[in-house]
């Protein structure tokens, strides 16, 4: 989407963002070969988005262009503690029709060629029941061919007709997820989980093998392999804007795991990038502000989606 974020003297900065896109950009910066799959218009803003993504090293070969359409837009409000609030204008965004287009068959066929497919609860909220059915079938096929699926619940109540609809769609999604990277606030709002361990137990019961439950500045609860523990977050004295904190954490965690890192080390890497991101306005920080982390192996092919 087009992003409007606060700047000095009440001005707004124009950029591009969105939860899965943010993760895709940070993955590319960390050395992962990543393609982004969405639908855009044929307007100037859509053209600038594509140019910006390509400049970041994000593949755009599966981005559909829809004549006469405009991308979605969101505005960030930030309080004195750096906590963000979003306002959306995306009811007619082309991305909503991604799984009901003439190009859908080509996109679905391409999914089976990726090592890892990443999407979110916001992705699910866009497509409707028919679109989600196409997506779920494509994910099942990709997993049968050896691919894995990573998912962030990222629940936004205004994006769903009801909380029950969101719970049903996300529960169905969890049947085909290998790695969950989610926020405790989301799990609490939808499923009533009291804390990270409670959320992890429920997700394990749903069949998810690798689980990270993020709890803001408290840290992240990690359950993977023989690991079952909290990883404390890096302290940040004065957050500027918490937009993309979770998205950047997800990117760094996944990049570390793809590079062969252990789950706890991957969580620490996630915290390290998120701590840098929240010290800058907007979702995507300047490349010069990226902290030293690592480079993931180029052979890992990943796809993000919105």
- What is the rounded end-to-end Cα distance, in angstroms, of the chain? 10
Domain of residue 243, CATH code: 3.40.1190.20
**Residue 208 domain-assigned?**
yes
pLDDT at 299: 42
Q: Could you count the other beta carbons within 10 Å of the beta carbon of residue 207?
A: 11
Which residue shows structure tokens 């804007």?
241
Identify whether the C-beta of residue 171 lies closer than 8 Å to the C-beta of residue 203. no
Give domain status of residue 270, yes or no: yes
On whether residue 45 sits in a domain, the answer given is no
Q: How far apart are the C-alpha atoms of 213 and 198, rounded to whole Å?
A: 10
The predicted structure's pLDDT at residue 7: 84
Domain count, the chain: 1
Report residue 73 as tokens: 């837009």
pLDDT given at position 302? 66
Q: How far apart are CA 241 and CA 284, in angstroms?
A: 11
Q: Tell me whether residue 123 is in a domain.
A: yes
Question: Tens-of-pLDDT digits for all 306 residues of the chain?
Answer: 898 988 888 888 898 989 999 999 999 999 999 999 999 999 999 999 999 999 999 999 999 999 999 999 988 887 877 787 888 888 889 999 999 999 999 999 999 999 999 999 999 999 999 999 999 999 999 999 999 999 999 999 999 999 999 999 999 999 999 999 999 999 999 999 999 999 999 999 999 999 999 999 999 999 998 899 999 999 998 899 899 999 999 999 999 999 999 999 999 999 999 999 999 988 999 999 999 875 444 444 566 666
Largest CA distance in the chain: 54
Q: CA dist 33 to 36, 203, 259, Å?
A: 10, 28, 12
Please, are residues 128 and 135 in contact by the beta-carbon 8 Å criterion?
A: no
Sign of CA dihedral 189, 192, 194, 199: negative
Q: What is the structure's pLDDT at 298?
A: 41
Paired with 220 in beta bridges are 214, 231
Residue 303 in tokens: 């796809």
- Establish if 44 belongs to a structural domain: no
Return the closest-CA partner of residue 84 out of 251, 245, 213: 245
Say if 14 falls within a structural domain: yes
Domain that holds residue 108: 2-34+69-294
Q: Does 300 fall in a domain?
A: no
Of 131, 174, 168, which Cα lies nearest the Cα of 150? Answer: 174
Q: What is the pLDDT of residue 42?
A: 96
Report yes or no on 206 lying in a domain: yes
Active site residues: 247
């Amino acid at each position: 989407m087009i992003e409007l974020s606060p700047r000095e003297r009440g001005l707004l900065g124009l950029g591009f963002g969105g939860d899965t896109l943010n993760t895709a950009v940070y993955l590319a910066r960390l050395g992962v070969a990543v393609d982004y799959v969405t639908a855009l218009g044929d307007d100037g803003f859509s053209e600038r988005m594509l140019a910006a993504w390509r400049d970041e090293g994000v593949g755009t070969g599966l981005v559909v262009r829809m004549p006469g359409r405009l991308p979605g837009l969101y505005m960030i409000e930030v309080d004195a503690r750096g906590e963000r609030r979003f306002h959306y204008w995306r009811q007619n965004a082309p991305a909503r029709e991604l799984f009901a287009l003439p190009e859908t068959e080509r996109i679905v066929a391409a999914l089976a060629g990726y090592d890892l497919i990443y999407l979110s609860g916001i992705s699910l909220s866009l497509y409707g029941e028919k679109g989600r059915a196409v997506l779920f079938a494509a994910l099942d096929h990709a997993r049968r061919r050896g691919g894995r699926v990573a998912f962030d619940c990222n629940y936004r109540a205004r994006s769903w007709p009801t909380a029950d609809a969101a719970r049903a769609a996300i529960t169905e999604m969890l049947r085909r997820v290998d790695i969950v990277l989610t926020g405790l606030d989301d799990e609490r709002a939808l499923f009533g989980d009291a804390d990270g361990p409670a959320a992890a137990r429920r997700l394990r019961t749903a069949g998810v093998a690798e689980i990270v439950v993020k709890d803001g500045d408290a840290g992240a609860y990690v359950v993977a392999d023989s690991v079952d523990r909290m990883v404390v977050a890096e302290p940040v004295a004065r957050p500027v804007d918490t937009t993309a904190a979770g998205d950047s954490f997800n990117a760094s965690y996944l990049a570390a795991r793809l590079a062969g890192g252990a789950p706890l080390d991957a969580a620490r890497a996630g915290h390290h990038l998120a701590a840098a991101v929240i010290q800058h306005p907007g979702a995507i920080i300047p490349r010069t502000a990226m902290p030293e982390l690592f480079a993931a192996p180029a052979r890992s092919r990943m796809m993000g989606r919105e």
